[in-house]
Chains A and B, each alone.
Chain A
Amino acid sequence: MGSQKRIAKELAELVESPPEGILVKLADESNLYTWHIYMDGPEGSPYYNGKFLLNLTLPTEYPFKPPTVSFKTKIYHPNVTNDDKGSMCLGMLRADEWKPSSRIQAVLQFARQLLAEPMPDDAVEGRIAEQYKNDRKRYEEVAKEWTRKYAVDS
C-alpha cells in the first residue's frame, strides 16, 4: 500500500489547484482508489457547456499500473465506448505505454484534450470516428445533442 501516499499527494494537488475545467472528488471518502472527476466540455467543442462525470479507478499497484478512466455520463465521442461502461481509450493508459512517472493530472488533462480533439485513428467507436472524419458537421450535431441530453443539468 505504498501507493496511498502518492495517491493522496496527487489528490491533494488536484483538489488544491485543479486543472481548468476539471473537478476531482473521491467517490468514497474512505477509499483513495476510486475518484469522481467532473469535467467541463472544452470551449469550442460540441461538448461545451456539458458537465461530464468520469470514474477514475486506480489499481493497488499504482503507479506501476495505469489507472482506468471511464465516462459515467453518456458521450458521443469516437474514443469513448458507447455503452454503459463508457470506457475511454487513452494511449498513455495502455499497459505498455504507461509510465509510473505519469500523473493523474496529466491523464485528466489528456482526457479533456481528447474531448476538444478526438483521435479518430485511435478510436474505439469506429462508426463515430468515420463520421468525425467524413461528416464533421453531422458528428458535431449529434455530439451536441447528446451533450444537451445527458450532460447538461436541467
Chain B
Amino acid sequence: MSASVSASASSNLPSDARSGPLRRLSQLRAYTQQHFSSSQPSSSSSSSGTRLSRRHTLSSRVSWFSPASTGPDSSQQLSPVGSRTSGPCPESEPPSTLARYSSVLFPSYRGLEIDLRPSRQSETPSSSPSNETGGSETQGTMARPRGSSQALNARPDLEGTSPSASAHLHAGALDSSDPVMSENPSTSSPRPKQKATIRFFPHQDTHQSSRPSLPFIPVSRTLPSDSCIIRVGRYSERDGLPVANPTDPSDAPVGFKSKVVSRKHCEFLYLNGQWHIKDVGSSSGTFLNHMRLSQPNMPSRLYTVKDGDIVQLGIDFRGGEEMIFRCVRIRIECNRSWQQQPNEFNKNTESLIKNLGKGDTADYSGCRECSICLGSVLRPYQCLFMAACAHVWHYKCVSRLIHTPDYPMFQCPNCRAYTDLSAEVDDTNDFDEEEVNKATPEDKRDSSEASRSGTTSPQLEAEPVPTGDEPRQGSLPVEAGLAANIESMRLHDMDASEAARRPPPPTSNNDAVPPSAGNDIPGWQSLTQSPNALPTRQSLLRADTPVRSESSEDNPLTPLNDSGPLALDGRAAMP
C-alpha cells in the first residue's frame, strides 16, 4: 500500500520542476532527517540521550549517518562529517524549506521503508541488542494514521518552527515520529503555493501614442486566506512602507504614487478560484482592458480578471508632466499556479537537464528546441538559459530579451511569464521563480558540496568495513544516493562488476525510471539490496573526481564533446 502511495505521490513531486543537484541534495537531507527521526525510537532506546542530542547539535538537520549511529564509534567518527556536509546549507534557511522538502521526500521515504525495514530489523539484534526488533516497524505503521489525522493543523505549526527547533523536538521527544508525520500531510493536502497569488506588472501601452504610464516595481501578493482583499489606492504614508513583494502571504494594500489614483481606488478579491476586480468608487476610474468599470465615485460590480489582463487606474492628468500625474497601467499575472507546480512540461525539462550529460543513451524525450533560433538546445557546450517557467533557450538567443531596459524583469518569450531576475535566490519555495538566478550559485555550491562529500568518502574508506556491518551499510546508501544526486552519475555502471555477480536490481537503470525525484529511490533500493558497500564507495570516490576537477580548466577527465554540455556522467569521463 505504501508503495502505491509513494508511486502516486512521487508523480507530483514538486522537485521535478527543479533540476539542480543541490535541490536533490536538500531533499535527501530532508529525507535523511525523516528517516532518522522515524528510526529514532529504536536508536534512542538503545543509545544514551547525550549522544543523541550531540548529534543533533552537530548535524541538526543533516543526519546522514543516522543508522550508523547505532554503533557508538561510527557515530563519533561520522557526525563531524555530517556536520561538515551540512555546511553549505545555511542555518538561516527558512523553516518552510524543510517542511516542504520533507513533504516532498516523504512519499519516497515510505516507499523506501519497505526496503529498509527488513535490513533494519536484521541489523537491530547485532547493533543494539536492547532494541525491540519490531519497534521501528510499529512506529511506522502506527504513525501513518496519525499523520493523516494531523493533516489539517500540521502546516501552520511547521511553518512557525525553525528547523533546528524541530530537530531538537526530535531529540527530546521519544515520540519522534510526530514531526515527521506532520510533514507528511502536505503531500496530500493542498500546498501553500496553491494559495491565490496575483502579481502586478507595469504595462506600457504600445498601441496608443500616449505617454508612458507610471513606472512601479512589480508587486506580488499571495493571499493568506481566500477571504482577504487586496486594496489598491494612492500610496499613503499612513500605510507605512509598501512591501512590494512579501515572501509570506500578505494582503497588504498596494499603493501607487500617482495623483490620479484615488486613495481607495479598487480592490482585488479571490472568489471561487477566480480573481475579481472591483472599483470602490474611484474618481478617475478603473479600466479593465480599456473598459471603465464604473461611473466616477461609484463602486462597480465584480469583474473577473484573467492572466494578461490590463488594468488601468485613473487617466493621465493633462495639466502636469510629472510622473505623479500619470495613470497606472497594470498587467495582471494570476492563475499561474499550474505553471509553478510540477507539470508535464517542466518535468520534461528536468529530464532534459538530467540527460544532457548522458550521451547517446540519454532519454531525450523531454528535449526541445530553442524557440528563438529553432535549434536544439542539446548542442554540446552551449550556454543555456532556463526561465522559471522551465522554458529553455540558448543564452545567445535569449540574451537580448534579458538585457532590456526592463531588466531585471524578464518576460518569457514563450509563455509571457514574468520573472524578476534580481530576486534573491530563495530556497524556501519549492516552485518559485528564481530558478534562473539559481543556476550559477548552485553550480558553485554543487562542486563545493561534491568536494565535501568527497572528503567524507576517504574517511569512510579508511574505516574497516566488514561487509556484514549492517549499520554502516545502512548509512552508505544515503551517501551514495547523495553523490548520485549531486553528480547525476550512474553508479550502477561502476557497480557493473558487482552487479554481474548478483541479479541486477530491477530498478537500477536510471533510464528506465521516469524522470522524477523517484530516481533517487531506485538507486537506493539497489544499493540497499546489495550488501556490497565497498564498490559503492569506490565508485563514489571515482565519481567524485570529475566533479571536483570540473572547476579547473585543465581537467584531464574532460568529457567527450559528444556527451553533452553537462557531462558529469561517469561514463563520459571513463572509457
Contacts and interface: CB of A to CB of B under 8 A. Distances in A.
Interface of A: 2, 5-6, 9-10, 63-64, 95-96, 99-101, 103
Contacts of A63: 372
B400 A64 contact: yes
Contact of B401 (A6, A100, A103): A100
A101 B413 contact: yes
B119 interface: no
24 contacts: A2-B373, A2-B396, A2-B397, A5-B375, A6-B373, A6-B374, A9-B373, A9-B374, A10-B374, A63-B372, A64-B400, A64-B401, A95-B206, A96-B206, A96-B207, A99-B413, A99-B416, A100-B371, A100-B372, A100-B401, A101-B371, A101-B413, A101-B414, A103-B374
Interface in B365-405: 371-375, 396-397, 400-401
Kindly list the 7 A-B residue pairs having the minimum CB-CB distance in the complex, ordered from nearest.
A101-B371, A100-B413, A101-B414, A96-B206, A6-B373, A100-B372, A9-B374
Contacts of B372: 6, 63, 100-101
Interface in B386-435: 396-397, 400-401, 413-414, 416
Contacts of B416: 99
Residue of B374, B397, B400, B414 contacting most chain A CB atoms (<10 Å): B374
Contacts of B400: 64
Nearest to A99: B413
A64 B413 CA distance: 9
Nearest to A61: B400
B371 A5 contact: no
A100 B396 CA distance: 14
Contacts of A100: 371-372, 401, 413
A2 B399 CA distance: 12
Nearest to B373: A6
- Majority DSSP secondary structure for residues of A touching B: loop
Interface residues of B, number: 14
Contacts of A9: 373-375
Interface of B: 206-207, 371-375, 396-397, 400-401, 413-414, 416
A136 to B, nearest CB: 28
Contact of B373 (A5, A95, A99): A5
A100 B175 CA distance: 57
A90 to B, nearest CB: 15
A5 B400 CA distance: 17
A86 B401 CA distance: 32
A26 B206 CA distance: 31
Contacts of B396: 2
A9 B374 CA distance: 8
Contacts of B374: 6, 9-10, 103
A10 B372 CA distance: 11
A96 B373 CA distance: 20
Nearest to B413: A100
A96 B374 CA distance: 21
Given A2-B397, A6-B373, A101-B372, 19 more contacts: A2-B396, A5-B373, A5-B375, A6-B372, A9-B374, A9-B375, A63-B372, A64-B400, A64-B401, A95-B206, A96-B206, A96-B207, A99-B414, A99-B416, A100-B401, A101-B371, A101-B413, A101-B414, A103-B374
Tell me which of B396, B397, B416 has the highest count of chain A C-beta atoms within 10 A of its own C-beta: B397
A101 B375 CA distance: 12
Nearest to A101: B371
Contacts of A10: 374
A77 B190 CA distance: 50
Nearest to A5: B373
Contacts of A64: 400-401
Contacts of A2: 373, 396-397
A90 B370 CA distance: 24
A42 B400 CA distance: 39
Nearest to A10: B374
